Amino acid sequence: MAELVAAINRNDRLYYVEARPVIADADYDRMYEELIRLEHDFPQFKDPNSPTLRVSGEPLAGFAPVRHDPPMKSLDKCYEKGELVAFDAFLRKELPDGGWHYVVEPKVDGVSISLLYEDRRLVRAATRGNGEVGDDVTQNVRTIRSIPKALPADAPDRLEVRGEVYMTRDGFVKLNAELDEAGRETFMNPRNACAGSLKQLDPKVVAQRPLDAVIYNAGGVGCDGFASHTELIATFRRWGFPVAPWSRVAATMDEAIAAIDELGANRHGFRFEIDGAVLKINERAFYGALGATAHSPRWARAYKYAPERAETVVRGITVQVGRTGVLTPVAELEPVELAGSVIARATLHNADQIAAQDIRVGDHVWLVKAGDVIPAIDGVLTEKRDLFVVPFVFPTACPVCGGAVARAAGEVAVRCINPACPAQLQRRLEHFCSRNALDIRSLGGRLADLLVEKKLVADPLDLFTLDYAALAELDVGEAGAPRKFGKNAANMRDAVEAARTASLERWLFAIGIPNVGVTVAKDIAAEHEKLSDLPASAVLRHVVANDAKKGKEREILPIKVEAAKAVLAFFDSPYGQTFRARLAALGIDPRRAARTVRTDGPLAGVGCVLTGTLSRPRGEYAKRIEAAGGIVQSAVTSKTRYLIAGANVGATKTAKARALGTEVIDEARLLELLG
């Protein structure tokens, strides 16, 4: 899961910020869905900063930032018809009185955009960015002829609409031909070309690109009076906005699925590329009642069409070792083109999958991009199997260090249990130095590999005793291109020294204890003065003991029991005791970050939780609450006085809060309390 999070974050930047993806969209979606599945099956390992909790992307440097209010969310995805049926069942449970219809529309494969009109004139266009903050691309969007620069007199004075900018299919082919003739790098696909065009700083260049748009949704203002989505779109069309040329209204899920199949059969007939269908409730009155998650509205889904597949041959199966020692098998394939990219490898996940599919070296297999994303073996063509092909035997020893491996009860993962394994150490070093940990930015994957390979580091704490003068002479170049680490060694030394005084929460996350992510580390640090208090922590032991209680005796505590058990187990282990002793020898005992609390403020000592869509950034409210002496919490507990609820908050959350004696208030009431 940690490796998936890192891979998704890396590809988010390549896709949204640099507009140069290195994997197909279908590969990304499959990776994303795999992470969602794992987080559902193993919630105790969920990273509080998981990309599934947020909308992907970041604002681009060079453009002014624009804050979206409300945020621009993405849609939850479905890949099977059964998931659509489950969505229908969910709606019928949430809305037992019925009374809604479905709308099916094409899912345009482009770049999400927000358009703001004031006095009925276009004043701002912004990309989605990370959902909260995007980039001001007004001048570039003004070059798109289909987007109206002024609205008719019956349109609202102030209006925000949202949609998708895309590059036409024919225009993409022509543009790539021109780039190729000029000896310049071509684009991978129309979506990539569209993103690359919008990020141009010169609008004259953008004006030459074949860009167009589809407007499909309301923004934050000007669209409250529409009863249905179809009425909204019809009005958009009348106001001069480009809208989808195809849509269907369905009274039942069966009709909606039929419409999705009809769209799929004609998906290649549009002037823009589509990668699925959008299914949403037509009656807008239900939107507020259903609300939204942190990532997606609960009244819509995106259905992704069945992936393409190709036949290839398994040339080998290699086994990789991750930071936590998990052995992950990877199929080495005869390279084959699939959905616009050449695939030579496919993750097999674990030994159980290999056994279940009976995948063998030498087999002919069907390769798919599940969800048009991550390469996956969909089946073995056993009729083509050679007589001498033998079953794959999963390693009984670590393929990197040769140490023992084990499989815990109830887990599918096989792990190397040697804490000194070089592969684990390399990835642990990267985690130890990551931005949310000790933030030692000079140490990346290449240097981590070299430090372990050269036996300069056998444990993350060795960074504090490393010979940085010698490190400056280390060759960190690629084969045939020698390059010394040089002055980077001094920068790294300074960063390591600064890490000595990093806060307890950062050190807790850096250690890499299972179940201890960024938010959990903060929760634990809030209850302890220093790291040396943790091995004998009465707070953590109370959390563990509380887990065994039943009924009313069981308390609602701010620290998760899985995290408490993991921290206690770590410091009780031989490695944990050695780690603690080394910290003491280094004179390091990380302390809780100092926090100034007003004892005379209007919210002195009062626990507050912020939830839902608020009119101002949560960080701004959090600072004001803390300035007033309040305590901002990540979850409602028995110590929470107020749940500040914005829009799109589910009834279950507020009911739970009231059951704990927590008062549910709105923003206006909060502002009154803040004075």
Structural domains in the chain?
2-53+307-384 (2.40.50.140), 65-304 (3.30.470.30), 422-499 (1.10.150.20), 504-585 (1.10.150.20), 607-674 (3.40.50.10190)
* Across 10-14, 31-35, 259-263, 287-291, least confident range: 10-14
Bridge-based pairing of strands 274-281 and 300-304 is antiparallel
Most confident of the ranges 15-19, 185-189, 376-380: 376-380
Among 27, 113, 575, residue whose Cα is nearest residue 345: 27
Mean pLDDT along residues 598-608: 83
Mean pLDDT (the chain) is 84
Contact present, 202 and 164 (Cβ < 8 Å):
no
Among 164, 146, 149, 162, residue whose Cα is nearest residue 119: 149
Contact present, 414 and 406 (Cβ < 8 Å):
yes
Helix (H, G, I), strand (E, B) or coil at 170: helix
Mean pLDDT along residues 192-211: 83
279-288 pLDDT tens trace: 999 999 999 8
In the predicted structure, residue 648 carries a pLDDT above the cut 50: yes
Element (H, E) at 631: strand 631-632
Q: CA 172, CA 63: separation in Å to the nearest integer?
A: 25
Element (H, E) at 30: helix 25-41
In the predicted structure, residue 52 carries a pLDDT above the cut 50: yes
Mean pLDDT along residues 176-194: 67
For residues 253 and 605, which has the higher predicted lDDT (pLDDT)? 253
Contact present, 338 and 369 (Cβ < 8 Å):
yes
For residues 557 and 193, which has the higher predicted lDDT (pLDDT)? 193
The confidence band for 17, taking pLDDT boundaries of 50, 70 and 90, is: very low
For the chain, the distance separating the N- and C-terminal CA atoms, rounded to the nearest angstrom, is 44
Bridge-based pairing of strands 102-108 and 274-281 is antiparallel
Name residue 332's beta-bridge partners. 316, 345
Contact present, 140 and 206 (Cβ < 8 Å):
yes
Q: Which residues contact 610 (CB under 8 A, 6 or more apart)?
A: 618, 621, 622, 632, 644, 646
* Helices 445-453 & 422-432 angle (0-180, nearest 10): 140
pLDDT score recorded for residue 421: 84
Q: CA 277, CA 282: separation in Å to the nearest integer?
A: 15
* Across 376-380, 396-400, 517-521, least confident range: 517-521
113-143 pLDDT tens trace: 999 999 988 999 999 988 888 889 988 888 8
The confidence band for 108, taking pLDDT boundaries of 50, 70 and 90, is: very high
Q: Positive or negative CA dihedral for 95, 100, 106, 109?
A: negative
419-461 pLDDT tens trace: 778 888 888 888 899 888 998 887 877 788 888 888 888 889 9
Most confident of the ranges 140-154, 345-359, 383-397: 383-397
Mean pLDDT along residues 52-75: 73
pLDDT score recorded for residue 40: 82
507-516 pLDDT tens trace: 999 998 877 8
In the predicted structure, residue 367 carries a pLDDT above the cut 70: yes
pLDDT score recorded for residue 408: 76
- Alpha helices, DSSP H, located in 398-467: 422-432, 445-453
Counted residue by residue, the chain has a size of 675
Q: CA 643, CA 607: separation in Å to the nearest integer?
A: 9
For residues 644 and 26, which has the higher predicted lDDT (pLDDT)? 644
- Alpha helices, DSSP H, located in 467-527: 468-471, 488-499, 504-511, 518-525
Question: What is the full DSSP assignment across 225-240?
Answer: T-SBHHHHHHHHHHTT
Q: Which residues contact 532 (CB under 8 A, 6 or more apart)?
A: 580, 584, 589
pLDDT score recorded for residue 480: 65
pLDDT score recorded for residue 12: 67
Phi, psi of 591, rounded to the nearest 5 degrees? -115, 160
pLDDT score recorded for residue 371: 37
Q: Which of 73, 77, 107, 369 is catalytic?
A: 107
pLDDT score recorded for residue 55: 52
In the predicted structure, residue 370 carries a pLDDT above the cut 50: no
* Across 64-73, 593-602, 636-645, least confident range: 593-602
The confidence band for 297, taking pLDDT boundaries of 50, 70 and 90, is: very high
Q: Positive or negative CA dihedral for 231, 233, 234, 235?
A: positive
Q: CA 73, CA 93: separation in Å to the nearest integer?
A: 23
Q: CA 137, CA 64: separation in Å to the nearest integer?
A: 8
pLDDT score recorded for residue 339: 64
pLDDT score recorded for residue 627: 83
Q: What does DSSP assign to residue 286?
A: H
The confidence band for 543, taking pLDDT boundaries of 50, 70 and 90, is: confident
Is residue 107 annotated as a catalytic residue, yes or no?
yes
Q: Positive or negative CA dihedral for 320, 323, 327, 333?
A: negative
The confidence band for 184, taking pLDDT boundaries of 50, 70 and 90, is: low
In the predicted structure, residue 337 carries a pLDDT above the cut 80: yes
In the predicted structure, residue 332 carries a pLDDT above the cut 90: yes
Beta-carbon count within 10 A of 588 CB: 17
376-389 pLDDT tens trace: 788 899 999 998 89
The confidence band for 556, taking pLDDT boundaries of 50, 70 and 90, is: low
Predicted TM-score (pTM) of the model is 0.46
In the predicted structure, residue 102 carries a pLDDT above the cut 90: yes
658-668 pLDDT tens trace: 777 888 898 88
Phi, psi of 492, rounded to the nearest 5 degrees? -70, -40
pLDDT score recorded for residue 577: 92
pLDDT score recorded for residue 91: 94
Q: CA 146, CA 125: separation in Å to the nearest integer?
A: 14
